[in-house]
Amino acid sequence: MKRTYFCALEKFMSTSISLSELEDRKEGKNLYSYQKGAINKIFKSFEEAPEDYHLLYQLPTGGGKTVIFSEIVRQYLKHHKKKVLVMTHRIELCRQTSGMLTEFGVENKVVNSKANLDDQAQYSCFVAMVETLNNRLNEDKLDISDIGLVIIDEAHYNSFTKLFKFFEKSFILGVTATPLSSNIKLPMKDNYDELIVGESIESLIKNEFLAKAEVYSYNVGLTSLVVGANGDYTVKSSEDLYTNNDMLSKLLQAYEERSKGKKTLIFNNGINTSLHVYDTFRMAGYPVAHLDNTNTKKERKKILKWFKETPDAILTSVSILTTGFDEPTVDSIILNRATKSLTLYYQMIGRGSRILKNKSTFTVLDLGNNLHRFGPWGADLDWHRIFRSPNFYLDGILADEEIEENFRYEMPEDLRKSFANSEDVYFDIKKTYISAVRAGESSKVVLERSIEHHAKICVENSEDLWDALDLAKQLGDDIDYRIHRYTKCISKSTFNFVEWLKDDYRKKLRAYLRSNFDEVYLDIHGKPPEE
């Protein structure tokens, strides 16, 4: 019986499926060839493996995981007399999953805290949130004796594993975009026997199933951030950094440079940060809203409706929109946070990857050095290796100090226009320091030469001293960058010392310009400045 069923399914899943065959399936959606191929592989494993086999399937966000497992449920129930349970970790995903199953012709019951289970015998498919299900099972309110297939959405969350003990005779299928556990101490290979890797992001982009991310990374000093017990940066240390005026100004500037006028999602680490971002954009006159998990259902619905209907809307949030949220018109993603989680990195960017008729690309602004940490979204990652040896992958991720060691200050485009007459506005502090040490010079000469370089580019783009002094005021970020590089070279970087150096540098630059403007101008232009 099982062999006959699989042969029939293999024929159904063939990429050369005829229109007449498709018409036989009146519910649901037509599947793409890669989705049919995935279902084929999953059912093959189901056929050949023991009944208690744990299978993990990986597919990028936007690839249609819910569509795939909805068709799996439909086919399973059609050919088996056992029931199916689908587990999610959020109530929004419960509703969405239930709706998709219904679209595929699968009658299902959502097992939430208010659900009446008196009619459970009438259903062959259940959808439940993990915590609610755990309570119902411990209360012995749900009959699971006949569950043959358990599907786990967003399987990288470890909250699901505590329920595995209830399904020792069920085939478990976990689906995720990133087969890397949310808890580094609980690797997924301990709970799943096999990983099937689906279509790559690169392939989905190439075949026009996903939009291409155009990523712009803004270097941010993150050494003040603290890593918490969960392996990611703490909310407190993130809020201390991302709510300061410099970072809020940097965020607004980045938006105005690359995302102005685009429908934009901003992800933050912490509600307080998101509220500061909201205030910053509101005061700048942009259409913006804030959303977090304290909003009521009614408020959330209203905000998301506004976001959907407003072409240039900005929505700032925390992590509430990383899963269970689908708005294809999002054209810009801003990562206003740093994360150590590859999964979160992919989830955040994936919110902008839905393709539309007039949308083949979307913008990503990274203000957390995430691109440096994980590489480009859609890079060719060896998911099998990550699944088998997660620690090997995690140990290879660059530390913040290593990332920042390779930073090079890039003057913003608008500011660079003010220095258009200068061929090169970059000054290599580290190289200058090494040369000075080798020559037996004091480290102080490094900052002296840096000041001379700053003065030179100011004079190159000025008609008089006052122009030059005005340009010098605009070099704040570059000065701060050079000071941080310098203090790393001399291995002396207490907060007070760094702040004193920044202030002293600015004073010395202004003094140098006042004393040497005419001389520098003459050297550059071959003539003195006009009176």
Predicted confidence (pLDDT) per residue in 321-360, tens digit = 766 577 889 999 999 999 999 989 999 999 999 988 889 9
Biggest distance spanned by C-alpha atoms of the chain:
99
161: confidence class by pLDDT, cuts 50, 70, 90: confident
Amino acid at 296: T
- Residue with more model confidence, 228 or 281: 281
Report the pLDDT value the prediction gives residue 110, as an integer from 0 to 100: 87
Beta partners for residue 356, in sequence order: 359
| Beta strands, E only, 51-104 | 54-58, 83-88
Cβ-Cβ contacts under 8 Å for 129 (sequence gap 6 or more) = 87, 88, 89, 90, 91, 93, 94, 111, 112
CB 353 within 8 A of CB 362: yes
Cα separation, 59 vs 154, in Å, equals 11
Every domain of the chain and the residues it spans? 2-199, 208-397, 413-525
Torsion of CA 457, 460, 463, 468, to 10 degrees: 10
Residue 252 has pLDDT above 70, yes or no: yes
- For 58, 152, 181, 373, the CA distances from 156, given in Å and listed in that order, are 10, 9, 5, 20
The pTM score is 0.78
* Distances from the Cα of 55 to the Cα of 65, 129, 150, 176, 399, angstroms: 14, 20, 10, 11, 33
The full length of the chain comes to: 531
Query: What is the pLDDT at residue 323?
Result: 64
Pick among 3.40.50.720, 3.40.1360.10, 3.40.50.300, 3.40.50.280: CATH of 208-397: 3.40.50.300
Which residues 6+ apart lie within 8 Å of 530 measured at CB? 463, 464
* pLDDT greater than 50 at residue 1: no
Q: Rounded mean pLDDT of 150-168?
A: 87
CA distances from 36 to 1, 11, 174, 433 (A): 22, 10, 17, 60
CB atoms within 10 A of CB 178: 25
Tens digit of pLDDT for each residue in 125-155? 999 888 888 888 888 888 888 999 999 998 8
Check residues 433 and 121 and name the one with the higher pLDDT: 433
CA–CA gap between residue 204 and residue 101 (Å, rounded): 24
- The CA-CA-CA angle for residues 158, 399, 276, to 5°, reads 75
pLDDT tens figures, 209-221: 999 999 999 988 8
In percent, the amount of the chain with pLDDT more than 70 equals 94
- Laid out side by side, the sheet with 361-366 consists of 212-217, 361-366, 332-335, 264-267, 314-317, 288-291
* Residue in 426, 428, 427, 423 with CA at minimum distance from that of residue 461: 423
pLDDT at 297: 83
Closest listed residue to residue 163, CA positions, set 118, 125, 189, 128: 128
Q: CB within 8 A of 126, min separation 6: which ones?
A: 83, 84, 85, 86, 108, 109, 110, 111, 120, 142
Give the model confidence (pLDDT) of 43-59 as tens digits: 998 888 888 899 999 99
pLDDT digits (tens, 9 = 90+) for 373-426: 999 998 889 999 999 999 888 888 888 888 877 777 888 888 899 999 999 999
Dihedral over alpha carbons 284, 288, 291, 296 (to 10 degrees): 120
CB 283 within 8 A of CB 334: no
Across the chain, what does the average pLDDT equal? Answer: 87
Crossing angle for the helix pair 235-242 and 245-258, nearest 10 degrees? 70
pLDDT tens-digit readout, 94-119: 888 889 999 999 999 888 877 788 88
Evaluate if residue 11 carries a pLDDT over 90: no
d(CA 39, CA 11): 12
Q: Judge whether residue 15 has pLDDT over 60.
A: no
Dihedral angle over CA of 332, 337, 339, 344, nearest 10: -40
The amino acid that residue 206 corresponds to is K
* Complete DSSP assignment for 176-192: ESS-S-SSTTS-GGGT-
- Between helix 495-525 and helix 476-489 the angle, nearest 10°, is 120
Q: How sure is the predictor about 12, in pLDDT bands with cuts at 50, 70 and 90?
A: very low
Kindly tell me if the per-residue pLDDT of 477 is higher than 60: yes
The whole-number pLDDT of residue 268 equals 96
The dihedrals phi and psi of 366, each to the nearest 5 degrees, come to -110, 110
Quick one: average pLDDT of 12-28?
36
Q: What is the pLDDT of residue 324?
A: 59
Fold that domain 2-199 belongs to in CATH: Rossmann fold (3.40.50)
Does pLDDT of 22 surpass 60? no
Q: Find out whether 297 and 325 touch, Cβ atoms under 8 Å.
A: no
Tell me the average pLDDT across 77-104.
Answer: 88
Q: Is the dihedral of CA 176, 94, 99, 136 positive or negative?
A: positive
Q: Which residue has the tokens 């940490």?
A: 373
As a whole number of Å, the CA-based R_g of the chain is 28
Q: What mean pLDDT is predicted for residues 78-103?
A: 88
Residues 6+ apart with CB under 8 A from 97: 66, 70, 86, 88, 127, 153
Q: Please write down the HEC assignment for all residues of 127-179.
A: EEEHHHHHHHHHCCCCCCCCEEEEEEECCCCHHHHHHHHHHCCCEEEEEECCC
Measured between its terminal Cα atoms, the distance across the chain in Å is: 99
CB 408 within 8 A of CB 421: no
